[in-house]
Structures are given as structure tokens and as C-alpha cells.
Amino acid sequence: MRFLLITLFFGSILGFGSLLSGCAGKNIHRDLVPDTMVMTRGWTFPTHGAYDANDRGFEYSNAILYENTLIFGSVSSGVTSLYPGLLRVRWTFPVKNGVVSELAAEKKNVYFGGGDGFLYCLSAETGKLVWKYEVKQSLVSRPTIVNGRLFVTAADDTLYALDAGTGKWLWSYKRRTPQTATIHAASAPLVDGGEVIAGMSDGFLVALSLEEGVLKWERKLQVTTKFTDVDASPVLSGDTVYIPSYDGALYSLRRKGGDTLWRFDAGGARKVTIDQSVIYLPSSNGSVYALSQANAKVLWQFDIDRGVPTSIVITERYAIFASSHQYLYVVDKVTGKGLYRFNVGDGSGFSSNPVFDSSTESLYLLSMAGNLYQFKIRPEGAKRPDAYQFGSAEHRRQAY
């Protein structure tokens, strides 16, 4: 049985030893303020009603961009399609026990896992149900859709292959879940070259045949007996796969066969982001690293104030990420220098991953308090707004 260690995954205030060492309970970036020369806060869209607005749970979903709309899921209100420019709801789809996976969109459909144990497919245009398939799990990975097939990993270490158009079962592969405590998360499958590759909670990365789900090869990544999970999504660059284990290390693996090229001793449950031969790793130890893609040389390290980081958005100038505890950060992607910190409230950080719309320079992310935030990156060379006074009492208050 898989244990629900949500508190650990998102960074408890108790610290949990080395997993959060160096960041738990600290305010190491107290001089960082929400500098409007870097980014400005736009609108806030609440998903909770007044009765549960202070219920700071966990949001597993994310926002996705679909044509001129923003579609996102939450644990309290199901799925919502929003016109972000007008802040007007297009449609909603209620889900019992909410949405407990990231969303994916493909060919006018949106796919996600519900807290009721079903995998859903909705029309992205109307929000109407196309099909649903019972996986009997309250958590699944972000679905991966390739050539009309959908692949998803459930919390019990079962990887499903379904027809993306009809929801028809094609095959499934079941891994034996370890009896020790594991992290409540699941690895989104990577599809490449006739194989489906995903991490499992027993510490292995597996590659299955695309057609039948037969095991082709496996590679053990976690060598400790603490938390064995490999819950991050594999990332393919050239002929190399990059994937971290939760509290172990980041691995660079040969795509064919999974032989290790190098390892970096910092783990995580979020996928890495690669930009111009630089790997950006959000680590479960409470730090964000920029590493050389060739040899894992540390280019810079940014320690967040508390908690663990979300996945990382890379723009032309910035690396943007949030913490599970309290803050949204912007750092210089070349130097790692902190440029911006926005406070959403003590204990009301982010467990949802951010999404960036480069066409409007807008960032969207959902807080644990159920608020969907929009931020906009300021154009380079723009003048400071007259109403903004750097270091004002309001901004000093938000910095703490």
C-alpha cells in the first residue's frame, strides 16, 4: 500500500533532516522584494468558496494554454476554462474529490486524473465529457499523448496505455510497490523510439515496448533505503535521458539501455528543464541548481527560504519557480542572482507547477490556498511605474 506523505513531499516546517537542511525555517532572502521592474502581479482568481478559503491543502494540477483560453484543475472546483484576458469563465466541469494530476491537452481534448479514481477526457472547447476510465487510484501522473495513444502512471505503480480518442484499454504494466513509505506522486511517461519510459516508486526507471507494454530494460537509480521513489518525469535531450530520484541524485543516462553517463548528488520529484546546454534542477533538498549538461558542473545554486521548489520556467532572461512554503522567485538564469520574491502568505505556497505564455509574457500558477495568480514579465528597458517605490513599507511587508 502506498503511503500518503504529502507533508514531506511539499516541505514540512519540521524539516525532516537532510531533505530540507539549509532551508527549513529560514528567511535567507529577506532583502528580495517583488520588484515591478522584473515582474508585475496581475489578477488573482480564487477557486475556493468563502467557507474553505483558508483550507490550505495541496493542488496537484496545473494550468495549460489552449488557444485563447487557460484551462486548470483544482481539488475544490474540478476543471475550469478561463479567458485570461477577460478573466471570464468559459466552462466548468465538476469532479468528485477534485483534480489530482497535471492536465494535458491534445487535439481539442484535455486529459487528467480525478480524485474519484477515474482518468478523464473532456472536450477543451465545451468542457463536455468525452470518456472516462477507472484506474481506482486517487493520483495519476500527467498523461502523455502520442500518436493517438495515452500513457499514464498511477500511484500504485501501474502504467496504463489507452486509446486517447475512446479511452479503450490497450495494455497495462504493474510494478510491485515497495512496502516502505513512498512519496505521493507519479512519473509522467516519456515515449520515444518504440518505448515508454517512466520512473517507479521502487527506485527503478523502466522502459516498456510501445505496442505491448513488455519490459525492455530497467535501471536502478535509488540505492538508499530511505525513500526509493523515482517520481519525476524523464526528459530526453538528444540521445540522453535526464531524471532525478527523490532523495538520491540526478542521473544522465544513455537513452538506449539506460547506462549511466554521470550523476549529480541532489535529487528531486520534479522534472529538470534544459535550456542552451544548461540543466535546471529543482531539488528536494530545497535548492535550485544550474548545471552544465555535459558534466554536471555547478554553474550556480539558489537556496530557497523554506520548503521545496516547483518545476522551473525558463524565459529569455529569467529562471522562475515557486516554493511549497510561501514564495514565488525570479532569478537571473545565467548568474543565479535573486531578482524578485513574492509572498503569498505563510504556509500557502505552491505545489502546482507554473506555466508561461511567451506570447503575452504572462505567468500562471495555482497556490495551495486555491488562488490562481497571473504575473507579467516587464519588458527589458521599461520605465518603472510612478506608483512603485522600491523598498516601500508594503514591499518590505511582503518580503517577510
Please check the confidence at residue 280 and state whether its pLDDT lies above 50.
yes
What percentage of the chain carries pLDDT values higher than 70? Answer: 84
Please check the confidence at residue 77 and state whether its pLDDT lies above 60.
yes
Please tell me the pTM assigned to this model: 0.88
Q: What is the mean pLDDT of residues 369-387?
A: 82
Residue 332's pLDDT band (cuts 50, 70, 90)? very high
What pLDDT was estimated at residue 386?
A: 52
What pLDDT was estimated at residue 130?
A: 98
User: In this predicted model, what pLDDT tens digit does every residue of 381-396 receive, in sequence order?
Assistant: 777 665 444 443 343 3
What pLDDT was estimated at residue 400?
A: 32
- The residue written with cell numbers 486517487 in the block is 138
Please check the confidence at residue 136 and state whether its pLDDT lies above 70.
yes
What pLDDT was estimated at residue 315?
A: 97
User: In this predicted model, what pLDDT tens digit does every residue of 57-74 receive, in sequence order?
Assistant: 678 889 999 999 999 999
Q: What is the mean pLDDT of residues 19-43?
A: 78
What pLDDT was estimated at residue 10?
A: 37
Give the distance between the most distant pair of CA atoms in the chain.
Answer: 63
What pLDDT was estimated at residue 361?
A: 96
Q: What is the mean pLDDT of residues 196-209?
A: 94
Please check the confidence at residue 183 and state whether its pLDDT lies above 80.
no
Q: For the ranges 10-24, 100-114, 156-170, which has the lowest average pLDDT?
A: 10-24
Structure-block grid coordinates of residue 3: 503511503
